[in-house]
Amino acid sequence: MTDTVTLDSGLQKSIIGAVNANMEKQIAFTQELVRFPSVRGREKSAQDFLYQQMADRGLSMDRWALEISDIESHPGFSPVSVDYNNAINVVGTHRPEKEQGRSLILNGHIDVVPVGPLDMWASPPFEPGIEGDWLYGRGAGDMKAGVAANIFALDALRNLGYQPASTVHLQSVTEEECTGNGALSALARGYHADAAIIPEPMNNALVRTNVGVIWFRVHVKGRPVHVAAASSGANAIDAAMYLITTLKEFEAQRNSRKTDYPHFVDLQKPINVNVGKIEGGDWASTVPAWCSFDVRTALYPGEDAHDGAREIEDFIRKASGNHPFLSNNPPEVEFNGFMAEGYELQDGTQAELMLREAHKSVFQNDLNAVTSLAYLDGRVFVLYDDIPCLVYGPMAENIHGFDERVSITSVEKVTATIALYIAMWCGLEKI
């Protein structure tokens, strides 16, 4: 592997100009991606589209459905009970005429979160519109604009008559919003590189450190009776609400440890315990026999996910012991979804220094490094492939909320930064 090329100012300007010249096509491409309602279990049509788009660009293509048996013994695996038949990963690989530079993975996820009540959106979530500098739609920011940026960064180089002088794997993965098993599956399939970029919506910043995430479900059983004799029964929903209230104590305990983690100490509440879903009961006139609720919590980098799970179980058991019914009828805690550890990106790597240089050339300011409290697939590369993963992407708002949107100007600059980075990291060869 040789050193990467040094980009003179003329070539830098040409690459930035090539990105700018193609922005209308890139935004139209992003809108097309947003039109696919690629929530969990419905990602296949979007992946089929991306497969064809990459194939049309001459990449060597691979696509597969995730297989639990391939990853369930891996320390980064998150437990699932859903059918993975339609959980499709797509990878397009560029190989140079002569391998000279450093290899690179350009990663993004195609899955999006549910939209919630449609009447609370200003416009339909899968009918992407543009207003001023903003492109609207579910997944526009998180992270279909980033997926498009990866593709169009390579397009910009190609339009100038260049291609990377090293192997580049262009990945579109599933399951980022719920397990991280999609990126893990790509790793298990043998996709490796010297560095990775994931253009998640990070407001033009680089992620220095990232929390881990655990999902769990609590199942509470009650004693059903007719409501006329409610006092003789046990209300599972009431018992669940008691546990939900006690989880605020768990949250406070977890946040009190932030002083042990330098990147988190100045954050008001780095650990959020969120009850995201609840269901229970069968009949308004019957004391409910069951209630289940789903919870998401976080881990500090360096904490073992399975230790975190045991801590959750211990807390629920102790809280139940203080309840008159639950003390003799303990709830069940089920782990289904994220069992993912956090990570810290090593400071000062060559990969980061090149990104800083590329960013400054485009934005005309220094690159900020931030702490992310959301799950990121960067942990797969940092923890399990021991390579720098640069999670760096555009400005977006209302992620996971109503009227999600991404800044077009920011997308343009981030795409240009990625294009410059590819040229510096991978080197260039004439087509």
Segments forming the whole domain that contains residue 98: 9-210+343-430
Residue with the two structure tokens 């140079």: 96
Phi, psi (deg, nearest 5) at residue 383: -80, -35
> First vs last Cα of the chain: how many Å apart?
20
CATH of the domain at 243: 3.30.70.360
- The two three-digit tokens of residue 144, written as one number: 């279909």
Q: Same domain, yes or no, for 371 and 232?
A: no
Residue 20 maps to a domain: yes
Residue 395 maps to a domain: yes
Task: In whole angstroms, give the CA distance from residue 396 to residue 408.
Answer: 9
User: What is residue 2's predicted lDDT score, i.e. its pLDDT?
Assistant: 42
User: What is residue 4's predicted lDDT score, i.e. its pLDDT?
Assistant: 45
Q: Which residues touch 80 (CB under 8 Å, ≥6 apart)?
A: 68, 178, 179, 181, 336, 337
Boundary-marking domain end, from 340, 372, 392: 340
Task: In whole angstroms, give the CA distance from residue 153 to residue 99.
Answer: 20
Boundary-marking domain end, from 316, 340, 364: 340
Task: In whole angstroms, give the CA distance from residue 123 to residue 9.
Answer: 43
Q: Which residues touch 18 (CB under 8 Å, ≥6 apart)?
A: 156, 157, 159, 160, 419
Residue 182 maps to a domain: yes
Q: Same domain, yes or no, for 14 and 61?
A: yes
Cβ atoms of 193 and 105 within 8 Å: the answer is: yes
pLDDT < 70 regions, the chain: 1-6
User: What is residue 6's predicted lDDT score, i.e. its pLDDT?
Assistant: 66
Q: Same domain, yes or no, for 228 and 136?
A: no
Q: Same domain, yes or no, for 19 and 163?
A: yes
Bond preceding residue 143 cis, omega within 30 of 0: yes
- The two three-digit tokens of residue 195, written as one number: 């560095």
Residue 263 maps to a domain: yes
Q: Same domain, yes or no, for 162 and 43?
A: yes
- The two three-digit tokens of residue 408, written as one number: 């077009």
CATH of the domain at 190: 3.40.630.10
How many domains are there within the chain?
2
Residue 3 maps to a domain: no
pLDDT digits (tens, 9 = 90+) for 178-202: 999 999 999 999 999 999 999 999 9
Of 417, 403, 394, 419, residue with least CA distance to 34: 403
Neighbouring CB atoms inside 10 A of 266's CB total: 9
Residue 2 maps to a domain: no
The model's pTM is 0.95
Local structure of 4: helix, strand or coil: coil
Long-range contacts of range 222-227, CB-CB < 8 Å, 24 or more positions apart? 222/287, 222/288, 222/289, 222/290, 222/291, 222/325, 223/287, 223/289, 223/325, 224/286, 224/287, 224/288, 224/289, 225/286, 225/287, 226/285, 226/286, 226/287, 227/284, 227/285, 227/286, 227/287
Q: Same domain, yes or no, for 125 and 162?
A: yes
Q: Same domain, yes or no, for 333 and 351?
A: no
Boundary-marking domain end, from 300, 320, 340: 340
Q: Same domain, yes or no, for 284 and 163?
A: no
User: What is residue 1's predicted lDDT score, i.e. its pLDDT?
Assistant: 40
Q: Same domain, yes or no, for 202 and 228?
A: no
Q: Same domain, yes or no, for 204 and 217?
A: no
Q: Same domain, yes or no, for 80 and 150?
A: yes
Q: Same domain, yes or no, for 266 and 402?
A: no
